[in-house]
Every structure is written in structure tokens, then in C-alpha cells.
DNA sequence: ATGGTAGAGATTCTA
């Protein structure tokens, strides 16, 4: 009997500030695994009772002071996977790979927080943009070496909106970091190493699709100038198991919201 | 063309 398996990715933008929203997320999506980014929480300050309190007793995290940080919560036991790494030699807590028990055997879930890249889309003058390009290229090269990867899911805030209709205006964002041709080309190369785009599997490319709306808009809902920065990819063997997706846009209107909303993909395993 | 908001934690950086 196949079982649903739901994975959620959410850039929570401070775990300690927004942990009280997790029960709302769980009530809306009933996930099996939750991957968070931008926890901004050092490991020794990770709330010790949180995982049990929300019904996800198995949790792994990699955090640091002030910036970045990822955490993966699971209903069932998980183990840190040996492919967890730093990618470009900085210990800045942007990746966590976990092996999760599921029907049919373990799944490996990669939780990524790709560098945002600063404002100027030129690696020669902006070291943050250079770091972003180097990071994505390193991740691409890693997965290019394992083209037959199976039972793996890659999620996270990848900070790149790859397709024309992943942004509110393709033409106006071509020189804006997150949608420049050099980034979207690298992003596509990375995805095509091993993975199917789990959101565009359900939504045709000519349809607008966003997961992030800036804090800086006067009225984010009315302006609707969003971008699709958060992604769920699955290895090709799992493509036939994809059942549905949810982009929890309501979460952008919650009290004291993140600027990203939770994204859920359900597979039938 | 510009500036707009949010979070951490220290009086500025990152997004």
C-alpha cells in the first residue's frame, strides 16, 4: 500500500523569532519532514524542547551566530548523511544532508541555503556574488559526479529564480541578482545533473509561480512582485511518485511573517 | 531612478 510522504521547505528567517508559527505550518500541510533555512541560531541556543513539542522528535541542525543556518525536522528517525559539506571552504552552515526512513527504504534529503549574492551582479567587484557563483558551481560539480543518484530530494532557498515566469518581470529583473543569466544558467546545470524540478512538474512554465515576496513592498499582496527562490527537486526515479504540491501563500500574511512561504511536495512511496 | 523593511546584535551587516 503506497503511503504519502510530504516534504516542506521554508526559509523561516530566524527560528527563535518564528518558532511559534511551526504548528500553523504543520496544521496546514501535515508534513513528514520540514527543512528550514536562515535559522540564525547557534547550535547551543537551539530551543531544546521545540522538536518534541511540535511532534517532530527527530531533528538535525547546523547553525551559527547571526546568519545562515539550516535545520531538518522529521517524524521518523533521521541520520546525518556524510555528504553534508561546506562547498567552498567556509563553515557557514548552508547545507545539511539527512537520511530519513520512509516506505521502500531511506531517502536522502539535502537542505540548502544558497548565498543571496549581494546587490551588484558582477563577481569582479562583488565578493558576495562571486561566492554565490562558486557555491552553485561546486554543488553542480558534486552532483554531476553522481548521475545515477536515486531516492534523493534536494530542497531549500536556492536564491535563484531560474525561469521567465519565476519572477514578476523577466525583463526588469535580468540585471537583478537572483535572475541574471549567469545565475540561472548555473542553477539549471545544477538541477539537470540528477534532478527533476518538483514544482514545475505540476505548474506549466508559462504560469507565474512565486515563493518569496519582499518585505520592502508597501503592499506585497497587491503589488505581487514575487520570485520563485525556494525549490524542491527529486531524483528521476522519484518522478513517477510526485503527487501534488502546495505553496502556502497564506503564510506571507501571517503575523510577523517570513518573506518566504513554506513549499510542500507530496510523493506516493 | 530610487528607496522601501526586517532580523541579529551591536551601534552595522546581511538579505
pLDDT (tens digit per residue) in A7-56: 999 999 999 999 999 999 999 999 999 999 999 999 999 999 999 999 99
pLDDT surpasses 90 at A103:
yes
At A137 the pLDDT is 98
In chain A, % of residues over pLDDT 90: 99
The CATH code belonging to domain A4-268 is 3.60.10.10
User: Over chain A, what HEC string results?
Assistant: CCCEEEEEEEECCCHHHHHHHHHHHHHHHCCCEEEEECCCCCHHHCCCCHHHHCCCCEEEEECCCCCCCEEEEECCCEEECCCCCCCCCCCCCCEEEEEECCCCCCEEEEEEECCCCCCCCCCCCCHHHHHHHHHHHHHHHHHHCCCCCCCEEEEEECCCCCCHHHECCHHHHCCCCCCCHHHHHHHHHHHHHHEEECCCCCCCCCCCCCCEECCCCCCHHHHCCEECCEEEEEEHHHHHHEEEEEECHHHHHCCCCCCECCEEEEEEC
User: Residue A66, CB, less than 7 Å from strand B?
Assistant: yes
Predicted TM-score (pTM) of the model is 0.98
| pLDDT of A76 over the 90 cut | yes
Measured CA A217 to C1' B12 distance, in angstroms: 23
Is the pLDDT score of A173 beyond 90?
A: yes
Whether A89 shows a pLDDT value over 90: the answer reads no
Check: CB of residue A157 under 8 Å from CB of residue A110.
no
Q: Report the distance from CA of residue A125 to the C1' of nucleotide B5 in Å, as an integer.
A: 26
The predicted pLDDT at position A63 comes to 98
Is the C-beta atom of A67 closer than 7 angstroms to strand B? yes
Which bases along strand B come within 7 Å of a protein CB atom?
3-10, 14-15
Chain segment A186-230, per-residue pLDDT in tens:
999 999 999 999 999 999 999 999 999 999 999 999 999 999 999
Q: Which nucleotide has the shortest C1'-to-CA distance from A15?
A: B7
- Is strand B less than 7 A from the beta carbon of A120? no
Distance A129 CA to B15 C1' (A): 13
Which chain A residues in 190-209 sit with Cβ < 7 A of strand B? none
Q: CA A172 – C1' B4 distance (Å)?
A: 17
Q: How far is the CA of A250 from the C1' of B6 (A)?
A: 19
In tens, the pLDDT along A113-168 reads 999 999 999 999 999 999 999 999 999 999 999 999 999 999 999 999 999 999 99
Nucleotide B14's nearest residue (CA vs C1') is: A67
Q: Which residue is nearest to nucleotide B6 (CA to C1')?
A: A215
Q: Would you say the C-beta of A156 is within 7 Å of strand B? A: no
Indicate the average pLDDT of chain A.
Answer: 97
The closest alpha carbon to A237, from A105, A134, A63, belongs to A105
A249 touches strand B (CB under 7 A): no
Per-residue flag: A172 CB under 7 A of strand B? no
Name the nucleotide with the smallest C1'–CA separation from A115.
B15
Amino acid at each position: 500500500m503506497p503511503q504519502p510522504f510530504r516534504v516542506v521547505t521554508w526559509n523561516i528567517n530566524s527560528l527563535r523569532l518564528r518558532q511559534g508559527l511551526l504548528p500553523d505550518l504543520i496544521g496546514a500541510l501535515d508534513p513528514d519532514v520540514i527543512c528550514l533555512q536562515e535559522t540564525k541560531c547557534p547550535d547551543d541556543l537551539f530551543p531544546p524542547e521545540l522538536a518534541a513539542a511540535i511532534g517532530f522528535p527527530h531533528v538535525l541542525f547546523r547553525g551559527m551566530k547571526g546568519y545562515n543556518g539550516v535545520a531538518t525536522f522529521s517524524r521518523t528517525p533521521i541520520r546525518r548523511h556524510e555528504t553534508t559539506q561546506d562547498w567552498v571552504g567556509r563553515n557557514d552552515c548552508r547545507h545539511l544532508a539527512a537520511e530519513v526512513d520512509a516506505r521502500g527504504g531511506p531517502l536522502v534529503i539535502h537542505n540548502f541555503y544558497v548565498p543571496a549574492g549581494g546587490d551588484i551582479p558582477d563577481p569582479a567587484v562583488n565578493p558576495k556574488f562571486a561566492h554565490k557563483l562558486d557555491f552553485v558551481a561546486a554543488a553542480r560539480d558534486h552532483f554531476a559526479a553522481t548521475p545515477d543518484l536515486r531516492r534523493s530530494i534536494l530542497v531549500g532557498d536556492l536564491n535563484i529564480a531560474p525561469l521567465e515566469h519565476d519572477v514578476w518581470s523577466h525583463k526588469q529583473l535580468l540585471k537583478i541578482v537572483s535572475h541574471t543569466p549567469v545565475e540561472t544558467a548555473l542553477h539549471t546545470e545544477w538541477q539537470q545533473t540528477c534532478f527533476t524540478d518538483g514544482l514545475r512538474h505540476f505548474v506549466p512554465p508559462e504560469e507565474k509561480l512565486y515563493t518569496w515576496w519582499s518585505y520592502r513592498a508597501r503592499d506585497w499582496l497587491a503589488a505581487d512582485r514575487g520570485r520563485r527562490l525556494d525549490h524542491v527537486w527529486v531524483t528521476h526515479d522519484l518522478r513517477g511518485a510526485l503527487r501534488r504540491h502546495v505553496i502556502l501563500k497564506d503564510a506571507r500574511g501571517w503575523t510577523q511573517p517570513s518573506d518566504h512561504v513554506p513549499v510542500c511536495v507530496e510523493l506516493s512511496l
